[in-house]
Amino acid sequence: MSNNKTIKSALISVFSKDGLEPIVKQLNAQGVTIYSTGGTQKFINDLGINVVPAEDITSYQSFLGGRVKTLHPKIFGGILNRQNHPKDLAELEEFDIPQIDAVIVDLYPFEKTVASGAEHQDIIEKIDIGGISLIRAAAKNYKDVVCVSSVNDYADFLKLITEKNGVLSEDDRKRFATRSFNISSHYDASIFNYFNAEKEETVLKISEAQGKTLRYGENPHQKGYFFGDFDAMFTKLHGKELSYNNLLDVDAAVNLMNEFKNEAPTFAILKHNNACGLAQRDSIYQAYLDALAGDPVSAFGGILICNTEIDKATAEEIHKLFCEVVIAPSFSLDAEAILKGKKNRILLIQNNIELPETNLRTCLNGVLVQDKDGITDTIAMLSNSTYSKPSDNELDDLLFASKICKHTKSNTIVLAKNKQLCASGTGQTSRVDALNQAIHKAVSFNFDLKGAVMASDAFFPFPDCVEIADKAGITAVIQPGGSIKDQLSIDYCNENNIAMVFTGTRHFKH
């Protein structure tokens, strides 16, 4: 497409004036007639630049407390006319309507007002009417009009009109129209989601204003994208660009470590969204060493995360391991310098922001949405189902294991001892298989399971799991309960002096 058009007139009506001055000056230097309203008109006048008030076109003053400024047929006729339609041009002349070649407008800050905790009526007043209408009109008529709808586009627009002396191609205008419809659709989705906070309307509207193209998706032959504000979540200190798989693992790591927020130093190592090592100790150094001991083989190429600052001694140990990503609330200067010794190793400082409260995933020809599993098992939730009661140390280990279990792919069994993950069976089609996998791994890494505890994400339909666990040395079990055959497992535990507690909460993770 060429269809070059020279900007001869522009309507400027914006909420934020940041970055507007150089555009106005450039348009003025190019002889562009500028129309404006209210505060924007004053801003331009204060620059010593002539501006035609919109009221001169409409013969109406702004009224209803500023709610109605540009909503007028003469304004929208100037924007929506088709310059290659003689009838449109004749009507412009008949009704004394000026041609408008550029529209520069932004929207009231609705999302920021909601986020500020403002009163409902203040939020309602930040629902833009005139601005959104101008954006839609100008973007629709991109063949003749350019629409600049965001402060983020000012620099690009200024560069364009400067380099091209105000002569834009249809491709230029279409690109800005695409951005404008992105702005308008996101704005409307935000308003709807505010009004539909209680989900009275069972519909899904998602709009992420920021995104980036990834190197590829889960595999090299798949395209991949991330939509969201990654920089609000993390401060990246070092390393290559995160991949699709990196991001999935980082998400799993963050959600797992949130279970140990404000607790004693805790370190976790994850691989393919599951913890392969996790330990809680008096120092982050020892927590790392004991997490690594959980599965030093799987740790290769893993994602590392902890709940406190990484110091020099810990960084020296981490540096011996090939790992993709290291996440922490902070790094000491020495630790940061050491870990930057590997060019591609990604170092992330996790910022303190709220995570989404819902999970979404594609399903068939639609989307599944659910509340995030926000329940963490606590002592208050436990009910003793056996004669034998867990000791205080066993209780600590049971709750520790339960947190890991909640964030491990089902079917899963987690074995732990002295606040260290011994092993887990992950993503198995049978709970018995998950338990046997966990026992095999623990033994292969020289863990003594005598006195260890077992956590299960769901109930035991038969007593086979508690029997296998007993023979491996397990002395305490935590599980949701709820099977019609719970009593069979209870009876076995009673006969073999095993303590078992029920939580009443299943933690499937698929």
The residues that are catalytic are 140, 272
CA–CA distance, 118 with 127 (Å, rounded to integer): 13
Provide the 10 A C-beta neighbour count for residue 289.
16
CA–CA distance, 437 with 423 (Å, rounded to integer): 8
CA–CA distance, 121 with 508 (Å, rounded to integer): 42
Return the DSSP state at 354.
P
The position carrying tokens 């292969």 is 444
Residues in the chain: 510
Coil, helix or strand at residue 227: strand
The position carrying tokens 């599944």 is 368
Partners of 456 in the beta sheet?
A: 413
Coil, helix or strand at residue 122: helix
When computed from its CA atoms, the radius of gyration of the chain, rounded to whole angstroms, is 31
- Pairing status of strand 346-350 against strand 323-328: parallel
CA–CA distance, 490 with 497 (Å, rounded to integer): 10
Among left, alpha and beta (phi > 0; psi -120 to 50; other), residue 221 is alpha
CA–CA distance, 289 with 246 (Å, rounded to integer): 23
Full 3-state SS string of 6-48: ECCEEEEECCCCCCCHHHHHHHHHCCCEEEECHHHHHHHHHCC
